[in-house]
Structure 1
Amino acid sequence: MISKTRVPRIPWISVLVAVLAALAAALVAPGTAAHAAGTGGGTVRHGLSQPDYSYADAIREAVWVDTGLDGDGDGRGDRVAVDIVRPAEPAKAGRKVPVIMDASPYYSCCGRGNESQVKTYDAAGNIVQAPLFYDNYFVPRGYATVLVDLAGTDRSDGCVDVGGPSDVQSAKAVVDWLNGRAKGYSARTGGNGVKATWTNGAVGMIGKSWDGTIANGVAATGVAGLKTIVPISSISSWYDYYFHQGAPLQDGPEWLSDYVESDSAHAACAAEQQKIIDGSPRTGDWTPFWTARDYVKDAGKVRASVFAVQGMQDLNVRTKNFGQWWQALSAQGVERKVWLSQTGHVDPFDYRRSAWVPTLQRWFDHYLLGVDNGIQREPMADIERAVDHWTTDPAWPAPATRDTALTLGATGTDGLGTLGARPAAAGAESFTDDPDLWEEDWAAAADTATPEKTVFTTGVLAKDLRISGGGTVTVTASSSTTSAHLSAVLVDLGPETIRDYLGGGEGITTLDTRSCYGAATAGDSPCFLDTAADTETVDHNVFSRGWADLGHYRSLAHGVPLTPGKPCTMTIQLAATDHVVPAGHRLALIVAGTDGGLILPPDTTPRVTVDLARSVVRLPLVGGAASLRTTPAGSTPRGLSARRPAAPAPSFAGAADLG
């Protein structure tokens, strides 16, 4: 219906003046500029959230959320401690804000970040120092930061179960509370009910290592309200942290739970600790314990977008965890992005800080504030191709990647063979397990026949060869004893300068200077020690690896003793990577036994024979088989005169600390 009511005519100049005045006010008045539609979050100008809110005046509070569990068996529901820092201005104006959440077991035992920051509190029990920069940077931009002590750690009830239902539920319950589906209280026991009336329920989880692992686990529950996760060097299946296809990688998970549990949990969680020991035998068998800690199988439930970050030389949380999670998410069409660095177990804040912070801001602005800043349309993958030199790809693995079969051949010299696309030929190579040696020893002697390994190499490459993704090595092998562990290692033979991922900083060195990201209070500085790349020049570079227990050739469910001399066929999964072997270098595959310091040895010392005609390597080559071109036989490999000293194998004690 058209109204016939007369509307007084207003001079157009008056309208223009009014519009200009309103626009000017929006541009200059803090806290009054346009907000992202429907979010009620931070102030957004020029496609970015702006630091318009006071960090000094932010609301700091603690809430204990009921998880619905009683892991410590005290007859009361477990409550997990939730420390909150949120801007005061939106709350006063009735606007609701999104949440950036980091759920961790490390807030009191070990600390977070390169400077091992822990939570500190005032006399009232409210947080003073929140580790890392998230609160300093994002609270002024209209986000709340929420730091959760996982069950059994710091100020939380319950027991640590190392990535299991209790760990995941203790974080999921907080997402539920933020969305009005769980109960929160003002105290660990008793207290008043507390509701999260200040948030719109949009949550992004972030964290490195165990923290990011919990983000994966919570996302795999499909919980409503979790809009995005940013897992950094994180586990997707806990079996694959402790074993690799039956081969034990480190001591059992009970060590890790004992390491992070609070004193009260130590006293109350003996029964849960025994469940962990009983459920995770060192046989390498897949048990129900591992099924409960496998998030990959539930990738179909993931509703959140995923920004994954992984060090390709991470020997703590190995890239198999990233690769299988990424592949599962890809199959489900999850919105995703990835950064792959040349570091080990390192946060991107400490190797690419000036790019990481604004990228993370734009990611959260888009998925939590609803800002259409285009980040979801930008290249999917950032890859550190050389030290501090990054390239991008529209998708990952790289477009034009093809699963390419390569065969193993003999050369007439025992222990030295060929790797190429030629048809398989009859032959065999043998090695004797030596647990005192590891991949660096093998690679340093790649052109020398030694009894503990066999090496298969291409000719000198005529053009760059890019491997993008995770490959496999299928071997048909027989053991002289009833047990055998296998290692398969890809090596770039040729000179290059790389990050020293085997050094103490795993590819970074910490400087004396600081740079600041965000606002400060007397108890929480936004200024962090700067870092620089820690590099070394090498003549070989191990860039992917995989291990297996040959006794699990039939199934991961149950390993069997080997029949000496009887051939078994097993496919070893190689860690996901993205590496270019330059023209003038050679690609090598080393097949050996115990990779000392990275896997534990078998209970015998076998001699293993590999049937070359019944073995095959499948690599994700960009451009497929046509990309593997070599120069004529007899060409001299580039720069193989100086050998990289073989570094000592990493200790299991260090690797067992996830942080």
Structure 2
Amino acid sequence: MPIRTRFTIWRTLATAAVATLTAALLTPAAAVAQAAPRESRPVYSYAHAVRESVWVDTGLDEDRDGRTDRVAADIVRPAEPARQGRRVPVIMDASPYYSCCGRGNESQVKTYDAHGRIVQMPLFYDNYFVPRGYAVVGVDLAGTNRSDGCVDVGGRSDTRSAKAVIDWLNGRATAYTTRTGRKTVRATWTNGRTGMIGKSWDGTIANGVAATGVRGLKTIVPISAISSWYDYYFAQGAALYDGGPDELAGYVQSDAAQAHCAAVRKELADGSPPSGDWTPLWTARDYVKDAAKVRASVFAVQGMQDLNVRTKHLGQWWDALARHGVRRKIWLSQTGHVDPFDYRRGAWVDTLHRWFDHELLGYDNGIDRAPMADIERHPDHWVTSRAWPPHGTRTTTLHPAPGSRPGVGTLGARPAATGTATFTDDPRHGETDWAAHLTTPTPDKAGFLTAPLARDLRLSGSGRVTVRVTPTTATAHLTAVLVDLGPDTIRDYADADEGITTLTHRSCWGASTAGDSACFKDTEAKTTAVDYTVFSRGWADLGHHASLSKGVPLTPGRAYTMTLDLAATDHVVPRGHRLALVIAGTDRNLIDPPSTRPTLTLDLSRTTARLPLVGGAPALTHALPATAPAAPAAPEPGPPTGVRAPRGAQTVPAP
């Protein structure tokens, strides 16, 4: 990331005597201001850091044993500041994975000595930041590792686990020296300024805690994080996974929770019906609706090809934060569900260091004036944007129309006066099959392509596809995907490692002890040559066309209108490539099929794609010079009457 440096230009008449006089005239306050630090330095001993554990009272009794639940917080902090009467800020990672699954590319777990003191805190945060004057706190979510309570998968227990620790750091909650004892302990060593960080479920908790508006939380760094748990399990009524939150809770919970939390797991199962209906359980786990409460700044990180925590989570969270004026920063990579430490390590550590220095220590290091967005345009090739989406991005309407061959239509600025396209759901096929045969009619899809572009066309943000469709059966699922049709070399996100290769040699990021090494296996980009790139997706159950609250059987032969939300992206379709829209049924391995195998007919005169184009309609006109002018940008329409705008996965969300 470029660093803006301020330069002072001295006139040629300036002399050493003038400089001396200027220094002499400075007030002591001005001299101190000139010497203000811009970077925390590793001046404290990691080997002699204080390592301790506390159990914070959450005020809840989720395991229903008659006493309030306490969550374990393991702390690594520099010893010297407390002896000098100075207080330090906190970097916190609250996680359910510290014992069951591990953190990071090497699946590190917490380890303890014979006295129960933390020996290894997973990841590099403590190794790097403790010598620089930060405390690092690893919180076991309720019902996991050494904490009491029950896992409730993004609900009150999850968020209170971490919020209670922030309250304790700020003198508003009680902590104890043991899990069951009565001896209390105060956080006299901290100034209470806390930043939360974490990937996947950990980052989700950061989002959830920020949405409570808790005081003392100054910034969050959510990496590939969920913003609404409904959208992890369903896409507008279409099931994304076989399992539900009750199974996920069982996967991560401790042995004690296994014995005492059956009632909570039943509540999770009962509140998340496989029908895909929105229930009160999902409302309680929707952080987007509470974005107005967020006081913390947000540095969001996301793989644009993450098919675990899909980018719909990022898009709706980012947009909601923007509406409420939250200070934001963003990194977007070509990877899947991967931590930036494993695809851009040096730049990530440097940027994170500067971010925490600015947000938690108040250092004026320029990161707030740097570009808002870093975007990986090609493997290991990054660009920046002053704002994201860039200024001048406008929602622009594109229209599918019949082509010269059935099943292969056109996509452009001019609406289709008439015409239909028909496809039959085939759960054996998915987006890669459709994209590979875009120029060939196949019965399982309807494809629409622009002419080869005369100029690059950049899409940045979230789009929508509205269809008018008639099914032949009582159930039907829909998929809409955007495709860049043309050759490229991309990160191999479909590989098991989702775009990286882990190497055997290591690099070190901070100080080490015998039990906690700061050295981690290096990685490199794993790439693949392609003829097409699917870069945005959306899915839906047509039975939820009127409301997410209740799906209904369809009437065969009746036409329905439904709008599919497309996941956020930032992608450039290069000159000479074609932009394509595919509309089909089941997307194999990404949504579950319906109970029937419908044939669906699209009314192309009432089907549109509203896409976030940088430059808006004029950019489309210039990219397709032979087409009629694009329809002018218009405000995004609200949902049909009675439809709750969705807020927005089971394999377990990858740690």
Whether TM-score is above 0.5 comes out as: yes
The answer on whether the counterparts of 1:472 and 1:572 sit within 8 Å (CA) in structure 2 is yes
The answer on whether the counterparts of 2:200 and 2:653 sit within 8 Å (CA) in structure 1 is no
Q: 2:653 aligns with which of 634, 650, 657?
A: 657
1:115 partner amino acid: E
For 1:410 and 1:425, locate their aligned partners in 2 and report how far apart those are by CA, in whole Å: 10
1:610 is matched with which residue? Answer: 602
Q: 1:454 aligns with which of 421, 446, 463?
A: 446
1:152-163 equivalences in 2 (<5 Å): 152-163=143-154
Q: 1:217 aligns with which of 188, 208, 231?
A: 208
For 2:234 and 2:415, locate their aligned partners in 1 and report how far apart those are by CA, in whole Å: 33
2:589 partner amino acid: G
1:640 is matched with which residue? Answer: none
For 2:65 and 2:390, locate their aligned partners in 1 and report how far apart those are by CA, in whole Å: 52
- CA apart distance, 1:90: 0.4
1:115 is matched with which residue? Answer: 106
| Cα-to-partner distance string for 1:511-553 (whole Å, 9 max, x where unaligned) | 1111111001110000000000000010000000000000001
| Cα-to-partner distance string for 1:609-658 (whole Å, 9 max, x where unaligned) | 1100011110011111222223769xxxxxxxxxxxxxxxxxx85x4333
Q: 1:521 and 2:513 equivalent?
A: yes
For 1:47 and 1:511, locate their aligned partners in 2 and report how far apart those are by CA, in whole Å: 34
For 1:514 and 1:348, locate their aligned partners in 2 and report how far apart those are by CA, in whole Å: 16
1:630 is matched with which residue? Answer: 624
1:575 is matched with which residue? Answer: 567
For 1:480 and 1:423, locate their aligned partners in 2 and report how far apart those are by CA, in whole Å: 26
Rate the CA distance shift 1:45–1:535 in 2: closer, same or farther, 3 A: farther
Q: 1:419 and 2:411 equivalent?
A: yes
2:3 is matched with which residue? Answer: none
For 1:630 and 1:373, locate their aligned partners in 2 and report how far apart those are by CA, in whole Å: 43
1:430 partner amino acid: T
2:68 is matched with which residue? Answer: 77
- CA apart distance, 1:411: 1.2
2:571 partner amino acid: H
Aligned residue for 1:135, secondary structure, equals: helix
2:93 partner amino acid: D
For 1:282 and 1:377, locate their aligned partners in 2 and report how far apart those are by CA, in whole Å: 46
Q: 1:594 aligns with which of 586, 591, 595?
A: 586
- CA apart distance, 1:61: 0.1
For 1:263 and 1:657, locate their aligned partners in 2 and report how far apart those are by CA, in whole Å: 20
1:355 is matched with which residue? Answer: 347
1:630 partner amino acid: L
1:190 is matched with which residue? Answer: 181
1:39-438 equivalences in 2 (<5 Å): 47-250=38-241, 251-438=243-430
1:465-484 equivalences in 2 (<5 Å): 465-484=457-476
The answer on whether the counterparts of 1:459 and 1:631 sit within 8 Å (CA) in structure 2 is no
What fraction of aligned residue pairs are identical, expressed as a percent? Answer: 69
For 1:70 and 1:192, locate their aligned partners in 2 and report how far apart those are by CA, in whole Å: 20
1:25 is matched with which residue? Answer: none
Q: 1:545 and 2:541 equivalent?
A: no
The answer on whether the counterparts of 1:363 and 1:375 sit within 8 Å (CA) in structure 2 is yes
1:489-568 equivalences in 2 (<5 Å): 489-568=481-560
- CA apart distance, 1:408: 1.0
For 1:345 and 1:181, locate their aligned partners in 2 and report how far apart those are by CA, in whole Å: 36
For 1:396 and 1:471, locate their aligned partners in 2 and report how far apart those are by CA, in whole Å: 15
2:652 partner amino acid: A
| Cα-to-partner distance string for 1:540-590 (whole Å, 9 max, x where unaligned) | 000000000000010111111000010000000000000000001001100
Aligned residue for 1:575, secondary structure, equals: coil
Aligned residue for 1:153, secondary structure, equals: coil
The answer on whether the counterparts of 1:253 and 1:277 sit within 8 Å (CA) in structure 2 is yes
- CA apart distance, 1:412: 3.7
For 2:246 and 2:494, locate their aligned partners in 1 and report how far apart those are by CA, in whole Å: 26
Give 5+ residue unaligned stretches, structure 2: 1-19, 25-30, 628-648
1:472 partner amino acid: R
1:5-20 equivalences in 2 (<5 Å): none
The answer on whether the counterparts of 2:396 and 2:612 sit within 8 Å (CA) in structure 1 is yes
- CA apart distance, 1:400: 1.1
Aligned residue for 2:398, secondary structure, equals: strand
Q: Which runs of 4+ in 1 moved over 4 A?
A: none
- CA apart distance, 1:366: 0.6
| Cα-to-partner distance string for 1:351-384 (whole Å, 9 max, x where unaligned) | 0001000100110001100111111111101000
The answer on whether the counterparts of 1:465 and 1:622 sit within 8 Å (CA) in structure 2 is yes
For 2:492 and 2:625, locate their aligned partners in 1 and report how far apart those are by CA, in whole Å: 30
2:81 partner amino acid: P
Aligned residue for 2:285, secondary structure, equals: coil
The answer on whether the counterparts of 1:460 and 1:631 sit within 8 Å (CA) in structure 2 is no
Aligned residue for 2:605, secondary structure, equals: strand
2:480 is matched with which residue? Answer: 488
For 2:490 and 2:619, locate their aligned partners in 1 and report how far apart those are by CA, in whole Å: 24
2:637 is matched with which residue? Answer: none
For 2:187 and 2:148, locate their aligned partners in 1 and report how far apart those are by CA, in whole Å: 21
TM-score by length of 2: 0.91
2:463 partner amino acid: G
| Cα-to-partner distance string for 1:251-271 (whole Å, 9 max, x where unaligned) | 211121111000110010000
2:432 is matched with which residue? Answer: 440
1:470 partner amino acid: S
- RMSD, matched Cα: 1.7
| Cα-to-partner distance string for 1:16-48 (whole Å, 9 max, x where unaligned) | 9xx99xxxxxxxxxxxx98x99xxxxxx97510
1:275 partner amino acid: E
For 2:36 and 2:272, locate their aligned partners in 1 and report how far apart those are by CA, in whole Å: 52
Aligned residue for 2:606, secondary structure, equals: strand
2:16 is matched with which residue? Answer: none
For 1:131 and 1:286, locate their aligned partners in 2 and report how far apart those are by CA, in whole Å: 36
For 2:421 and 2:317, locate their aligned partners in 1 and report how far apart those are by CA, in whole Å: 34
| Cα-to-partner distance string for 1:75-102 (whole Å, 9 max, x where unaligned) | 0100000000000000111110000000
For 2:531 and 2:252, locate their aligned partners in 1 and report how far apart those are by CA, in whole Å: 40
Paired residues, what number?
605
For 2:131 and 2:445, locate their aligned partners in 1 and report how far apart those are by CA, in whole Å: 57
